[in-house]
Amino acid sequence: MELKNLKNHINNLVLLDDTDSPVLSCYVNLLQGEGSYRNFLDERKRELRKILTLQELDDFDDAFIEIQTFLKTKLNKAANGAAIFSRAGKNPFFFPLQFRSWLPNWFTIGPFPNIYHLVELKDTYDRFVVLISTQESARILEVNLGEITKQVWMERPELRLRVGREWTKEHYQHHKRERGKKFIKDKIKILEKLMAEEGHIHLILAGNPQITALIRKHLPKHIKEKIISTVVAYDRDKTSDVVRATLSSFIENEAQKSIETTNLLIEEIKTNGLGVAGIENSINALRAGQVDVLVLAQDFSSKPWWYCKSCQLVGKQISNATTCPNCKNEEIKEIDIKEELVRLAEKYNCKIETVEFSDILMNMEGVGCLLRYLVPEQYEQGYQSGSFG
């Protein structure tokens, strides 16, 4: 699957209307085998059935049967992970996705699809181009979500000449060097074309260190700036092994970017600038359309919050609360606030940065936002505190 398709799928899931029937969100790790995810789903099914009403039970069972049928009959043998969304009732909905990348075993019910793991997949793997170079050939690969989606091969033309008869040795060596330069230029031309047409912003060079250094030297500045890593590879290496190595390198680079984004958020908060921290501040900024980047700890967890179906207000869970304090509507539902954060971010087209192992972010309730702008009230607070000079 390509990244742009995943983005479209996430957007469609975000726009799914809330109904009286719950949405089942099922993620399975296919790498661990059928027995593992089936045992997990059976156990989760027993847990969830205990807390549902009679009406919810009927819809739950109908939706779960759809998931079971898909897992039994429609799985792709090449897939390592699957995400399946199912809803029964008056407005049934069923949407399965399969990936070469792994996903965790995860199964929830709620008013909306659980999309966090799709968002995390999008943020972690993204897409990039790999140029694998040897003296005699080149492979230019487009990698989407851990899967090769495009591959271009180039082979260096042979020199069908006999040294000592048609040419002198010096003439031959000169011609060989010139053809070598042309081969490098041809590689770069194809690479430029692919990256420009598809809008790629990440490039990894792979191959013999001497050859990759030579390639880097001849790359134009605007392509060179997109190199995020260099991986050692040789002619005998399988393409799948090289791609696996570049994936590891890419994930490390993404992790470093997450740390840099977190540091920027902390700096903005310290200076009372374009940054907010905590669940309530982040929710408010997202709903106001101020957010440029949602920064979310992978370890984020919180007690349930409530959601009003009528006015769409979100608030902290209050014991025995049955009425929305804003519109007095009685149709309030319990929601996963982590899911609500990513749902709002996707709805307003904000970038989402998931961060692993950040104690300082966890001290801020596990979430913060880099803002596009400040509202007048925030400017007023800034001037009062002297933060804007």
- My answer on whether 221 and 165 are in the same domain is yes
**Is 262 domain-assigned?**
no
Asked which of 75, 102, 125 is the last residue of a domain, the reply is 125
Number of domains into which the chain is organized: 3
In a domain, 266, yes or no: no
pTM of the model: 0.79
Task: Clarify whether residues 176 and 215 are in a common domain.
Answer: yes
Is 352:293 a contact under the CB 8 Å cutoff? yes
- How would you classify residue 164: left for phi > 0, otherwise alpha for psi between -120 and 50, otherwise beta? left
120, 6: one domain: yes
Alpha carbons 351 and 106: distance in angstroms, whole number: 24
Regarding whether 86 and 75 lie in a shared domain, the answer is: yes
Task: Tell me if 265 is assigned to some domain.
Answer: no
Answer yes or no: do 66 and 97 share one domain. yes
What are the pLDDT tens digits along the chain (389 aa)?
Answer: 788 899 999 999 999 998 989 999 999 999 988 898 999 999 999 999 998 888 889 999 999 999 999 999 999 988 999 999 999 999 999 999 999 888 999 999 999 999 999 999 988 888 899 999 877 778 899 998 888 888 887 665 554 444 455 545 555 454 455 565 787 888 888 899 989 988 899 999 999 898 899 899 999 999 999 999 999 988 888 888 999 899 899 989 888 999 999 999 999 999 889 999 999 999 999 999 999 999 999 988 887 787 787 777 787 766 556 778 778 777 777 788 999 999 999 999 999 999 988 899 999 999 999 999 886 666 555 544 333 33
Domain that holds residue 100: 1-125
Of the residues 100, 125, 150, which one is the last residue of a structural domain? 125
Regarding whether 292 and 384 lie in a shared domain, the answer is: yes
Q: How does pLDDT run across 229-240, given as a tens digit for each residue? A: 999 988 888 888
